[in-house]
Amino acid sequence: MVTKVSDTKKLLLKVNNLSVSFDTTEGSFDAVKSVNFDLKKGETLAIIGESGSGKSVTASVIMGILACPPGRIKSGEVFLNDLDILKLSDTDRRKLMGSKIAIIFQDTLSHLNPVFSVGSQIAECFEVHKNLSKKESWKKAVELLERVRIPNPSRRAKDFPHQFSGGQRQRVMIAMALALEPDIIIADEPTTALDVTIQAKILELLGELRDERNMGLILITHDLAIAAEISDKVIVLNEGKIVEKGITRDVFINSNHAYTRQLMNSIPGKITKQKKKTSKKFSDPILEIKNISKFYDTIACDNVSFNLFPNEVLGIVGESGSGKTTISNLILRLASPSNGEILYHGQNILNFNRKDLFNFRRKVQVVFQDPYASLNPTMNIYDIISEPWVIHSDFLDKKLHKSTVSDLLISVGLHPNDAIKFPHQFSGGQRQRIAIARALALNPEIIICDEAVSALDVSIQAQIIKLLSNLRNKFSLSYIFIAHDLPVVKDLADRVVVMKSGKIIEQGMVDDVFNFPKEKYTKDLLKASPSIENLIS
Amino acid sequence: MRQYLSKRIFSSILAITGLFVMVFFLARLTGDPGHLYLPIDAPLEVRKEFSEKHGFNDPIYIQFGKFLGDLTDGNLGYSLRKERPAIDIVLEAIPVTLSLAAVAMSIALIGAILIGSLAAYRPNGIFDRISRVVSLTAASAPDFWVAITAILIFSVSLGWLPTSGIGGVPYWIMPIGILVIRPLGLLVQVVRGSMITALSSDFVKTARAKGVKEKVVIFKHALRNGLLPVITVAGDQAAAIANGAVIVETIFGWPGIGKLMIDSIMQRDFAVVQASILITAIVILSINIIIDIAYAVLDPRIRHK
C-alpha cells in the first residue's frame, strides 16, 4: 500500500505557521502551536497524536468548521492551490467545502444525520454545489454507494444511518466525501471504532480511491501501525506542537524525538513476558463455562465452553457481534443463558438463590469500556469506590472506608486527595483507573475487563495494561480480558479464546495461537491487524 | 410501529373507561341536584318526585347499571338544565374550543420554532438575550390578568376590538392572542434548548463540511432533530387548551367546552359533566396518539423499532 513520493507532484495544500487557541472560562490555552506541513497530489500524510494533541483541531481549521468561539485562529495561513482559504469570505469558503476538500469523520453514527436517508445525504452534495435536480443527484448518490461497494445500492440508498453496520456507515461517509471528486480528503480517525478486518478493508478502499483519483489524503490517527501501513509521510503532534516530521519509514525507524519513541514503545504486542507459571494451570478452575448458549432474536452465543484458572488472564478476542460481551453478561448473571451451565468453584451459579448470588457478585467484578459512561457523574470518587461496601455492608467496617479508599487509589496510581473530586475532573485513563479501583474494592477473585482499554490512547493503554498486570500479581486476581484488539491481548493474556458469530473458533496458549494459528479465521484476524513490522523489515 | 400504536389505542380505551367510572361516582358525591334545581322552599313531595323522575333515589349501583345500559345505546343521558341530550350540547361546544386550540397552537409552534432557532444559533447573542427575557415573561404571565388588561386597552380605551362574543376575525384576535402567549413563551425555551443541542451535534459539522448554507443547516439538518422534545411539550400545551381554555372562554364569552364543563359542574348537571369529560378525554388521548405518530414520522429510528 505504500506509494512512492515524488517531489515533482503538484502541491495541493500548504499550512504555514498555524496557531489555534481556545478561550475558556479558565483562560485561554493553545491547542495548535505554529504547525507547518504540506500535501502533494496522490500523497498520504499521516498526522499522528494522542487525544488533545491538536490533530482534529488542525483538521477543523482546514475544513472551516472550527467553532469560533471558543476556538480562535491566532495566526497562520492555509493555502489551497495558492489561495489562502482563511482569508476567504464565508460564502466563498463554503464553495470549496466538500468540492475541493472533504472530510471523513470517526464516529459515523453521530456524524451522519439520523433522520435523513443516506442517499439524500450524499445527494445533497450535488444539490448544493452543482445545482443538480433531486433525481439526478439521487442517481449519482446510488452510483457512489456502488463505488464504495455497498451491496444493493439503489435499495440501500433509501435506508437510514442506523440501519447500516459501522463499516458500511464509514463507506457511506467515504461516498459522501468522494461525491464531488475533491483534491483532498481528510480522514479523521476513519477506522477507530471498527473491527480489524473491516478496518483493513476501509483503509484499502481509501488507498485505492486516492490512487484512482490522484487525490491527496490526510490521515489523522492515534494508531501508529495504521500510519505505518498507509502513509508516505508523517507528522507527530504532541500538545499542539509538531515534534517530528518526515518520510514515514525514516520516522519509524530512527525516531529522533523522545515522544515518538515513547509512542513506539507503547505499541501493544511487544512485551516479552516472564516465563509463565504453568503449574497453576493444573489446579482446579475457578470458573467452568460448560456448553452455554444464549439466544436473543439471533444466536448471540452458541455452545461455548472454556475454563478460567486461578491467577490467570484469559483473553477473549473477536469482532463486534462475536458474542464476547454476551459471555461477560452471562458470567455476571446480568442475563441468563438459554442452555448450559456456569460453575464457580464447582457450583452452578445458575442455581444460586439471592443470597448465593449476592456473595458470588462480590467475587466477580467488571471494568467497562467507556470510562466516561460507566462512572456516575454526580458522585465523587470516594462515593464511587466506597459504594460496594455500602451494598455489602458486612465487608468493611465503616471507620475503615476512608483509609481503604486511599489505599485503593494509591494502588491504581492515583492520589488519596483525588477522592473528593468528580469523574469529569479526570482524563480517560485516570477514569479507567478509578473504575479499576472500584472493581478491586470487594477484593474479588475475578475481574472481567470488557474492552477496558479500547477507548484509551496507546501510551495510556500501555500504562493501564501494566497496572492490570501488577494488580494481578499483588491481589492474585484472574482476569477475563475481552478485546477486539489482538496485540493488547497478546501482551496481557496467558490463554486466549477466539470467537466469531457466537462460537469459539480456537483456544489455546497465547503464544501458540498468535504464532501458529490453526484456523483460517484467526489467521485472517492476525493478518488484518495493522503493524509497523512490515514497514521496518 | 403498528403494533405499538394498537397497544396505545387499547390502553387509551382502558384509561377512558376508568376515568368514566370515576367521574360517575365522584359527580354524585357533590350532592343532590334537587337542591340546585328546585326553589329553595320547594315542598318535600316535589323534591321526592324530582329525585324519583331522574332516578336519583335508586341505589348508586342501579344508577350506574342504567347509565351503562344507556351508554351501550350511545345515549349519554339528558341535561337536567337544558332538557336536551347531553351529547348534543357537548358536540356543539367542542368545535369552538378545538378551533381556538388549533389556531393558537399553530401560531405558537411556528413562532417558537423561528424565534427559538434563531436564539439558539448564537447562544448569548443579543437576539437570544432579548428572546429569553421576553419568553420567560410570556411563559409566566397570568392569562386572566392579561386578558382583562387587553380588553381594557383594546376594547374599552381604543375601541379597536369587540369585548366578547363569537363572530368574524376581530372576535378571534384577543382570545387567540391570550391563548398563544403562554405556550409560545414555553415553546421558545424548549426549541432554544433542543436546537442548541442539535446545532452542536456532529452531523451539523458534517453538513457544514459539505458546504451546506447556514439557513439549510439550521432549518433542515438541525431542526428535524431538534423537534422531538418540542412536539412533546407542544402536545401537552395543546391538550391543556383543548381541556378547556376556561378562563379565555369565560372572559370572552366563547361557548367552548371549558365553559360548559364549569357551568355543568356548578349546576350538578351530571349527564353533561360526564359527556364533556368523555369527549375531552377522547380528544386528549387522540392528541397523544398524534404525537406518537409525529415522533415516528420525524425519526426513522423510532419507526423501525
Chain B residues close to A112, C-beta within 8 Å? 203, 206
Which among B208, B209, B225 has CB closest to A114? B225
Chain centroid to Cα A164, Å, comes to: 19
Q: Which three cell numbers stand for residue A110?
A: 453521530
Alpha helix stretches (DSSP H) within A426-475: 428-440, 458-475
Cβ of B301 within 8 Å of Cβ of A114? The answer is yes
Chain A residues close to B224, C-beta within 8 Å? 113, 115-116
Closest Cα partner for A486 from A524, A436, A446, A448?
Answer: A524
What's the predicted TM-score (pTM) here? 0.79
Q: What are the structural domains, with CATH classification, of chain A?
A: 11-266 (3.40.50.300), 280-526 (3.40.50.300)
Report the residue of chain A nearest B227, measured CA to CA: A115
Cβ of A113 within 8 Å of Cβ of B213? The answer is no
Q: Rounded to the nearest 10 degrees, what angle do helices B270-298 and B223-242 cross at?
A: 180
Report the residue of chain B nearest A162, measured CA to CA: B301
Cβ of A98 within 8 Å of Cβ of B206? The answer is no
- Smallest Cα distance from A111 to chain B, Å: 4
From the CB of residue A476, how many other CB atoms can be counted at a distance below 10 Å? Answer: 11
Chain A residues close to B200, C-beta within 8 Å? 67
- Smallest Cα distance from A145 to chain B, Å: 17
- Smallest Cα distance from A213 to chain B, Å: 19
pLDDT per residue of chain B (305 residues) written in tens, 0 to 9: 777 778 888 888 888 888 888 888 877 777 777 777 777 777 778 878 877 777 777 777 888 888 788 777 777 777 877 778 888 888 988 888 898 899 999 999 999 999 999 999 988 899 999 999 999 999 898 888 888 899 999 988 998 988 888 888 888 888 899 999 999 999 999 999 999 999 989 999 999 999 999 999 999 999 999 998 999 999 989 888 877 678 888 888 888 898 888 888 888 887 888 888 888 888 888 888 888 888 888 888 888 76
Which parts of chain A have pLDDT scores under 50?
A: 1-7, 275-279
A446, containing H or E segment:
strand A446-450
Q: Which residues, at least 6 apart from B256, have a Cβ–Cβ distance to it below 8 Å?
A: B93, B94, B96, B97, B100, B244, B245, B249
Q: What is the pLDDT of residue A281?
A: 53
Interface of B with A (CB under 8 A): 200-203, 205-213, 216, 221, 224-225, 298-301, 304
Choose from A103, A111, A127, A129 for mutation: most chain B CBs within 10 A. A111
Contact B5, B289 (CB under 8 A): yes
Phi and psi (nearest 5°) for A505? -90, -40
Contact B182, B139 (CB under 8 A): yes
Q: Model confidence over B206-247: pLDDT tens digits?
A: 999 999 999 999 999 999 999 989 999 999 898 888 776 788
- Smallest Cα distance from B214 to chain A, Å: 10
In angstroms, rounded to a whole number, what is the distance separating the alpha carbons of residues B28 and B56? 9
Q: Which three cell numbers stand for residue B50?
A: 324530582
Report the residue of chain A nearest B299, measured CA to CA: A115
Choose from A80, A113, A164 for mutation: most chain B CBs within 10 A. A113
Q: What is the pLDDT of residue A518?
A: 92
Report the residue of chain A nearest B209, measured CA to CA: A97
In angstroms, rounded to a whole number, what is the distance separating the alpha carbons of residues B36 and A264? 92
Interface of A with B (CB under 8 A): 63-65, 67, 94-99, 102-103, 105, 107, 110-117, 124-125, 128-129, 160, 162-163, 176
Q: Are strands A233-238 and A287-295 parallel, antiparallel or unpaired?
A: unpaired
Q: Which residues, at least 6 apart from A284, have a Cβ–Cβ distance to it below 8 Å?
A: A309, A345, A346
Beta bridge partners of A73: A20
Closest Cα partner for A115 from B190, B208, B294, B233?
Answer: B294
Q: What is the pLDDT of residue B230?
A: 93
Which among A64, A105, A160 has CB closest to B202? A105
Report the residue of chain A nearest B213, measured CA to CA: A94
In angstroms, rounded to a whole number, what is the distance separating the alpha carbons of residues A167 and A150? 10
Cβ of B203 within 8 Å of Cβ of A111? The answer is yes
Cβ of A111 within 8 Å of Cβ of B210? The answer is no
Angle at A441 between CA A479 and CA A426, to 5 degrees: 90
B86-303, CATH topology level? MetI-like fold (1.10.3720)
Domain map of chain B by residue range? 2-72, 86-303
DSSP letters of chain B? -HHHHHHHHHHHHHHHHHHHHHHHHHHHTT--THHHHS-TT--HHHHHHHHHHHTTTS-HHHHHHHHHHHHHTT---B-TTT-SBHHHHHHHHHHHHHHHHHHHHHHHHHHHHHHHHHHHHSTTSHHHHHHHHHHHHHHH--HHHHHHHHIIIIIIIS--S-SS---SHHHHHHHHHHHHHHHHHHHHHHHHHHHHHHHTSHHHHHHHHTT--HHHIIIIIIHHHHHHHHHHHHHHHHHHHHT--HHHHHHTT---HHHHHHHHHHTT-HHHHHHHHHHHHHHHHHHHHHHHHHHHHH-HHHHT-
Report the residue of chain A nearest B123, measured CA to CA: A69
Contact A327, A316 (CB under 8 A): yes
Cβ of A162 within 8 Å of Cβ of B300? The answer is yes
Q: What is the pLDDT of residue A277?
A: 47
Q: What is the pLDDT of residue A536?
A: 63
Chain A residues close to B212, C-beta within 8 Å? 94, 124, 128
Longest Cα–Cα distance in chain B: 86
Report the residue of chain A nearest B224, measured CA to CA: A115
Choose from B124, B199, B210, B301 for mutation: most chain A CBs within 10 A. B210
- Smallest Cα distance from B299 to chain A, Å: 5
Beta bridge partners of A187: A104, A219
In angstroms, rounded to a whole number, what is the distance separating the alpha carbons of residues A412 and A385? 12
Closest Cα partner for A202 from A179, A172, A164, A223?
Answer: A172
Q: Which three cell numbers stand for residue A418?
A: 483525588
Chain centroid to Cα B156, Å, comes to: 29
Cβ of B207 within 8 Å of Cβ of A113? The answer is yes
Phi and psi (nearest 5°) for A488? -60, -45
In angstroms, rounded to a whole number, what is the distance separating the alpha carbons of residues B283 and B281? 5
Report the residue of chain A nearest B226, measured CA to CA: A115
In angstroms, rounded to a whole number, what is the distance separating the alpha carbons of residues A238 and A257? 11
Choose from B203, B301, B302 for mutation: most chain A CBs within 10 A. B203
Cβ of A116 within 8 Å of Cβ of B224? The answer is yes
Cβ of A124 within 8 Å of Cβ of B225? The answer is no
Beta bridge partners of A101: A97, A184
Chain A residues close to B304, C-beta within 8 Å? 160, 162-163
Which among A107, A115, A125 has CB closest to B210? A125
- Smallest Cα distance from A88 to chain B, Å: 14
User: DSSP 3-state assignment of A429?
Assistant: helix
Q: Model confidence over A339-386: pLDDT tens digits?
A: 999 999 999 999 999 999 999 999 999 998 888 888 998 999 999 999
In angstroms, rounded to a whole number, what is the distance separating the alpha carbons of residues B112 and B190? 9
Q: Which residues, at least 6 apart from A133, have a Cβ–Cβ distance to it below 8 Å?
A: none
In angstroms, rounded to a whole number, what is the distance separating the alpha carbons of residues A86 and B262? 66
- Smallest Cα distance from B220 to chain A, Å: 10
DSSP secondary structure code for residue A50 in this structure? -
B247, containing H or E segment:
helix B246-251
In angstroms, rounded to a whole number, what is the distance separating the alpha carbons of residues A52 and A61? 15
Chain A residues close to B300, C-beta within 8 Å? 114-115, 117, 160, 162
